[in-house]
Amino acid sequence: MANLIPYINFASKSGEAVTFYKSVFGGDAEVQSDGQRVVHLDFQSDDIHFMGSDLEDDQPGQQSSLVLNCDTEEQLRTFYAKLVDGGEEVFAPTDSGWGALVAHCSDQFGVTWMLNYDQPQS
């Protein structure tokens, strides 16, 4: 089956971003540089996988969001606290009204995260 892997363009800070995401999710990244900028990175931690690179100076940025489906409420709250630290809160973990706990923030690198935990239905 095909799968979709997000690709994130960073404003010349992808090396710092990889270090940050390792501290949030664990895992590891393969990083390729041309000496001045990261030309490709491949980050993996369990089922979390994305690729990325630094933008060239004259490249416009693009806006997107990453949706992170969490296994537990505690996992959502832990990831949210780490991601929003130094970033910007859109809204803290809250009941969605449709049986999920959701949160939304931008991290210190401007990446927008939408976190979701589907609560068990009784």
Do 70 and 44 lie in one domain? The reply is: no
State the total domains in the chain.
2
Is the separation of the CB atoms in 92 and 103 below 8 Å? yes
**In sequence order, which ranges of the chain are alpha helices (DSSP H)?**
14-25, 73-84
Do 51 and 68 lie in one domain? The reply is: no
Element (H, E) at 106: strand 100-106
Q: What are phi and psi of 119, to 5 degrees?
A: -70, 145
Q: Residue 32 belongs to what domain range?
A: 1-58
What pLDDT is attached to residue 101? 94
Do 3 and 43 lie in one domain? The reply is: yes
Do 51 and 73 lie in one domain? The reply is: no
What pLDDT is attached to residue 20? 95
Do 112 and 93 lie in one domain? The reply is: yes
CATH number, domain of 79, equals 3.30.720.110
Looking at 28, 58, 88, the residue that finishes a domain is 58
CATH number, domain of 34, equals 3.10.180.10
- Tens place of pLDDT per residue across the chain (122 aa): 657 789 888 887 888 999 999 999 999 999 988 888 888 899 999 999 998 888 877 666 556 788 899 999 999 999 999 999 999 999 999 998 888 999 999 999 988 898 999 988 87
